[in-house]
């Protein structure tokens, strides 16, 4: 008999997490995900095997943030060099501006937020296969065993996941397949209640047996296409079959003797690089770490970065400027001069021509380090689920627009502007840290804030992770966590920032995982941090 309902789950005290040390590490936002990765390391696998196993498990235990219909990105250090993988989805062949205007009106500005017409072809599963084929050690089928086991046996729904699950039900319960899949008792699961996911287990077995072929053109793709057709969507088997992830060279920017690396556009990682490039023109470490001057400066640098990112970033072939132009030192120095240390500003874009996500990280004693992220975009994504296969689709298509002449205008086979970004830090050409911070446009802001704390103020990864954060929204509007020093908050208000203090850290301030290399991975190993804003942990062996 269950006695879980005996407890008041809301009662508790503020807890502090401590850094974790080990030669092999997996850090995720759910303990079962981390343990799935650890099982692969104990089985003789490497960090790539661990990352794939953790990613697959995360589709089961944190469905509010990712699923088998997610997209993914990865930055990987193989012991000698960095490699980037863009596994973001592409638009179905039927998607044109005319397609959406005919269905949603001539005045429509973007594809819809929910439903099949918000879902591009998912790339995460193809990303798992590509990583395994190029860098993995264990058989691909082995990597999905923990996820299949969890899906079939079920798991007790944890605190943060349950909160977000309940919040999503009123928004999504009418979407095709959602209630059948994610409301097994006519509601969201309660905290600590068992949730089984047999449809996803079925898909995972097919993916394992066929190395993804059943997903891209086989049984799963056929089921998705039938479901889409029945509910007004345009995606077809041919769209799945045509999908391929892309290996890319990460882009980087030097900062305080290190180099931050991000995936190049169509993602927003360049925003973190721009902001750091602007901060390079200031002596940040002379400012008090949690004081108003340091926080104001970082906020203004981030606002300048977003102004250019939102103006110029799209699928690379559609951009009117290059990433190199956006990151030019002289151009960023000119942007830095726009910052007024006494006044918040609403910046416009410059002219560079002249001048619901999960994140995980894994590292092994051979020196391989993996920075991996996958996402549904907005919570459960499109809200659409193919129930018999547990396939919950992302809503990345909403990232397109329908504006003629826009670099991010929808087109067949095109990738939309993307928010999910893994990150990697090197020093003297060697791996230093694999890390990421989840949460829509909070991601580059989280990269910036945690790196400044570690590199300018020498805070260890867990301290930098735990510290209160701010989040820029638009104009001069920002959110700050309630833990931020009230004097700093008041100072920001006095400089013209429109500040809202927020209690929901998950929703507004993201959550990160960090693995920092201490020295020789086989002896000194790594120090890892996991964000208390979610249910996860870092595990070691």
CB atoms within 10 A of CB 531: 28
Q: What domains sit in the chain, N to C, each tagged with a CATH number?
A: 30-244+380-399 (no CATH), 248-357+419-540 (3.60.20.40)
Look at residue 503 in the predicted model and tell me its pLDDT: 79
Average pLDDT, the chain: 94
Q: Known catalytic residues?
A: 357
Average pLDDT in the 530-539 region? 91
pLDDT tens digits for range 385-426: 999 999 999 999 999 999 999 999 999 999 999 988 999 999
Alpha-carbon dihedral angle through residues 50, 532, 62, 67, given to the nearest 10 degrees = -60
| pTM of the full structure | 0.95
The answer to whether the Cα torsion of 483, 488, 491, 492 is positive or negative is negative
DSSP letter assigned to residue 469: -
Where residue 170 falls among pLDDT bands split at 50, 70, 90? Answer: very high
Instruction: Give the Å distances, CA to CA, from 447 to 134, 146, 425, 504.
Output: 28, 30, 10, 19
Contact by Cβ (8 Å): 362, 370: yes
3-state secondary structure of 392: strand
Chain length of the chain: 541
pLDDT tens digits for range 230-260: 999 999 999 999 999 999 999 999 999 999 9
Where residue 222 falls among pLDDT bands split at 50, 70, 90? Answer: very high
Pairwise CA distance, residues 387 & 395, whole Å:
17
The answer to whether the Cα torsion of 142, 144, 149, 152 is positive or negative is negative
Phi, psi of 407 (to 5 degrees): -65, -25
Joined together, the tokens standing for residue 295 give 């926080």
Look at residue 356 in the predicted model and tell me its pLDDT: 73
Contact by Cβ (8 Å): 20, 34: no
pLDDT tens digits for range 268-303: 999 999 999 999 999 999 999 999 999 999 999 999
Closest CA to 63 of 240, 184, 174: 184
3-state secondary structure of 2: coil
**H-helix or E-strand spanning residue 415:** none
**Cα 466–472–474 angle (5° rounding)?**
165
Joined together, the tokens standing for residue 27 give 């850090």
Q: Which of 206-210, 226-230, 350-354, 378-382 is least confident?
A: 350-354
């Amino acid at each position: 008999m269950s006695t879980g309902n005996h407890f008041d789950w809301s009662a508790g005290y503020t807890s502090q997490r401590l850094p974790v040390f080990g030669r092999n590490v997996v850090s995720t936002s759910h303990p079962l995900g981390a343990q799935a990765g650890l099982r692969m390391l104990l089985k003789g696998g490497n960090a790539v095997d661990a990352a794939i196993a953790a990613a697959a498990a995360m589709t089961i235990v944190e469905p509010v943030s990712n699923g088998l219909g997610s997209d993914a990105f990865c930055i990987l250090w193989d012991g000698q060099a960095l490699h980037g993988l863009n596994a973001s989805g592409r638009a179905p062949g039927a998607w044109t501006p005319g397609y959406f205007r005919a269905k949603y009106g001539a005045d429509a500005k973007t594809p819809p937020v929910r439903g099949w017409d918000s879902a591009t072809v998912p790339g995460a599963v193809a990303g798992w296969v590509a990583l395994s084929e190029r860098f993995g050690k264990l058989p691909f089928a082995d990597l999905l065993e923990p996820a299949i086991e969890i899906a079939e046996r079920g798991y007790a729904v944890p605190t943060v996941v349950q909160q977000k699950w309940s919040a999503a039900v009123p928004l999504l319960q009418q979407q095709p397949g959602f209630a059948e899949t994610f409301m097994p008792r006519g509601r969201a699961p309660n905290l600590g209640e068992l949730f089984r996911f047999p449809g996803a287990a079925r898909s995972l077995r097919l993916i394992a047996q066929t190395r993804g072929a059943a997903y891209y053109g086989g049984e799963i793709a056929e089921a998705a296409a039938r479901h889409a057709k029945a509910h007004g969507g345009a995606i077809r088997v041919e769209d799945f079959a045509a999908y391929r992830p892309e290996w890319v060279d990460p882009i980087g920017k030097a900062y305080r003797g290190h180099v931050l690396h991000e995936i190049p556009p169509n993602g927003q990682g360049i925003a973190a690089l721009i902001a750091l490039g602007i901060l390079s023109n200031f002596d940040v470490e002379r400012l008090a770490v949690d004081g108003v001057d340091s926080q104001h400066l970082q906020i203004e640098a981030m606002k300048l970065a977003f102004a250019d990112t939102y103006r110029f970033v799209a699928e690379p072939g559609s951009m009117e400027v290059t990433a190199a132009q956006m990151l030019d030192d002289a151009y960023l120095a000119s942007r830095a001069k726009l910052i007024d240390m006494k006044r918040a500003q609403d910046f416009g874009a410059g002219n560079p021509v002249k001048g619901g996500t999960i994140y995980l990280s894994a590292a092994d004693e051979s020196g391989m380090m993996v920075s991996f992220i996958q996402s549904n975009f907005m919570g459960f994504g499109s809200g659409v689920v193919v129930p018999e296969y547990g396939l919950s689709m992302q809503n990345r298509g909403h990232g397109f627009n329908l504006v003629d002449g826009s670099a991010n205008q929808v087109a067949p086979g095109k990738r939309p502007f993307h928010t999910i970004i893994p990150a990697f830090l090197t020093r003297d050409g060697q791996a230093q840290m694999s890390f990421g911070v989840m949460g829509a446009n909070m991601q580059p802001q989280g990269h910036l804030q945690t790196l400044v704390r570690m590199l300018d103020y020498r805070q260890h990864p867990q301290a930098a992770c735990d510290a209160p954060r701010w989040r820029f929204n638009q104009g001069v509007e920002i959110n700050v966590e309630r833990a931020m020093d009230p004097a700093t908050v008041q100072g920001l208000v006095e400089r013209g920032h429109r500040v809202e203090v927020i209690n929901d850290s998950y929703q507004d301030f993201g959550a990160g995982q960090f693995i920092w290399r201490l020295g020789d991975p086989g002896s000194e190993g790594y120090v890892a941090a996991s964000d208390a804003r979610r249910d996860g942990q870092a595990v070691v062996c």
